[in-house]
Amino acid sequence: MKSVDLTDRRLITPRDVEVAAEAGATELIVDTGAVLRKPVRLMLQQTGIVLRFGPATRTPSDARPEQRLFHSPEANAIKEEICAVGRKLWERSYVDGNGGNISCRIAENAVICTPTLRSKGDITPDDLCLIDLDGTQLAGALRPTSEARLHLEIYRNSAAGAVIHCHPPHATAYAISGRVPPAGIIPEFDVFVGPVVLTSYETPGTRAFAETVLPHVSNHNTILLGNHGVVCWAATPTRAEWQVETLEAYCQTLLLSRQLGGSCTRIPQEKQEELLAIKKRLGIPDPRFSPDRH
Ligand SMILES: [Zn+2]
């Protein structure tokens, strides 16, 4: 076995792999924080060179705290989860082009988020960024999502552990028609998501856009963004993605039911109250819990 040590490199390039292969390397040793993009990983597969992160615990003791946090086992698990959620969103057509963004709060003042201008279908852990709650980038090679402000407003004003913004077609159909799906029709939607609200349109990426969610953050977990898409938040990226699925399936089902004519049958009011009691026990927010409920 011949090893080539590249632990002093921040970014591993295809050329590095090429040079190592020409030198007869069978193993490439890189730093745990090194960035390896997809072409590099593909070349490693093609050349049969084995990748080793090493020494595994070789995070320099004088590394900045945010770097240590960004490369900690906890952060690596979150990055993997964000990438898995990104693939689910893309496979379900909930994101299009480079649209949508995912984030997860890892510390009081630190959030791991997806980068700008990347499809969520094939992002890798090396693509992700670390930002603070003011939006300042702390770590990561790529620039963070331009919708970071939207995510940060939600973290500042709720107990959210993760936020997803995306454009699922049926929910977005409601958001562009100025309507919200009615509640009280399917139990899962009422318990885990609804009722949802619809914000007025603002230009994506702006402070005004991020602030449209503020009046609703404390007693919802999902919002329709006017002429745009949806935003959901939960304890983890996986759970937030479930809410997107629940909302999107609900909107699709309502639209299908219209083809049958007539109107949907409502769950009787007293049974809706039972669902609300379940929701309260699960600790899921709902505007109907507000003291000023009319
Ligand atoms: Zn969007």
pLDDT at 81: 98
Q: Check whether 269 has a pLDDT greater than 50.
A: yes
Q: How far is the CA of 15 from the centre of ligand 1 (A)?
A: 36
H-helix segments, the chain: 14-22, 38-47, 65-70, 73-91, 148-156, 169-176, 187-192, 207-211, 237-258, 269-282
What is the 213 CA–ligand 1 centroid distance (Å)?
A: 14
The torsion region of residue 262 among left (phi > 0), alpha (psi -120 to 50) and beta comes to: left
What pLDDT score does 15 carry?
Answer: 78
| 229 C-alpha to ligand 1 centroid (Å) | 6
Q: Six-digit token pair at 200? A: 């007025």
CATH 3.40.225.10 at 69-288, yes or no: yes
89 CA distance to ligand 1 centroid (A)? 13
pLDDT band at 41 (very low <50, low <70, confident <90, very high): confident
CA of 208 to the centre of ligand 1 (A): 14
From the CA of 181, how far away is ligand 1's center (Å)?
Answer: 20
255 has pLDDT over 90:
yes
Contact 20, 49 (CB under 8 A): yes
* pLDDT recorded at residue 55: 57
Measuring CA to CA, how many Å separate 261 from each of 182, 248, 254, 257, 258? 16, 21, 11, 7, 5
- The yes-or-no verdict on residue 26 having pLDDT over 80 is yes
The answer to whether the CB of 106 falls within 8 A of the CB of 132 is no
DSSP-assigned letter for residue 110: E
Per DSSP bridges, beta strands 27-30 and 35-36 are unpaired
Q: What is the mean pLDDT of residues 190-194?
A: 94
**Residue ranges covered by each domain of the chain:** 3-58, 69-288
Question: In angstroms, what is the span from residue 268 Cα to ligand 1's centroid?
Answer: 36
Per-residue pLDDT at 294? 42
**Between 33 and 231, residue with greater pLDDT:** 231
Q: Does the pLDDT value for residue 58 go beyond 50?
A: no
Q: For position 155, what pLDDT does the model report?
A: 97
Whether the per-residue pLDDT at 227 is higher than 60: the answer is yes
> What are residue 28's DSSP bridge partners?
4, 51
- How far, in Å, is the centroid of ligand 1 from the Cα of 67? 29
Cα 122 to averaged position of ligand 1 atoms, centre (Å): 18
Identify which has the larger pLDDT, 96 or 2: 96
pLDDT in tens, 104-149: 999 999 999 999 999 999 999 999 999 999 999 999 999 999 999 9
CA–CA gap between residue 251 and residue 173 (Å, rounded): 9
**How large a percentage of the chain has pLDDT more than 70?**
96
- Of the candidate ranges 18-32, 71-85, 168-182, 276-290, the one whose mean pLDDT is the lowest: 18-32
- Average the pLDDT over 35-48 and give the result: 83
pLDDT at 188 over 70: yes
The structure tokens listed for 154 are 């939600």
**Prediction pTM value:** 0.78
Q: What's the CA gap between 40 and 35, in Å, rounded? A: 10
Q: Higher-confidence residue: 267 or 263?
A: 267
Measure the CA angle with vertex 225, ends 223 and 226; round to 5°. 135
Helix/strand/coil percent split, the chain, to 5: 40, 20, 40
CA of 230 to the centre of ligand 1 (A): 8
Average pLDDT over residues 71-82: 97
Termini Cα distance of the chain: 74
- Residue 269 burial (CB count, 10 A): 8
Q: What is the mean pLDDT of residues 239-259?
A: 97
**pLDDT over 70 at 27, yes or no:** yes
pLDDT at 96: 95
pLDDT at 292 (0 to 100): 55
- What separation in Å is there between the alpha carbon of 21 and the centre of ligand 1? 42
Residue 56 reports pLDDT greater than 50:
no
Parallel/antiparallel/unpaired status of strands 110-113 and 101-107: antiparallel
Q: How far is the CA of 203 from the centre of ligand 1 (A)?
A: 10
Q: Which residues contact 230 (CB under 8 A, 6 or more apart)?
A: 165, 166, 167, 168, 171, 172, 175, 222, 223, 224, 244, 247
If you measure from the C-alpha of residue 138 to the centroid of ligand 1, how many angstroms do you get, rounded to a whole number?
A: 24
Cα–Cα distance list, 143 to 113, 129, 189, 229 (Å)? 10, 7, 35, 22
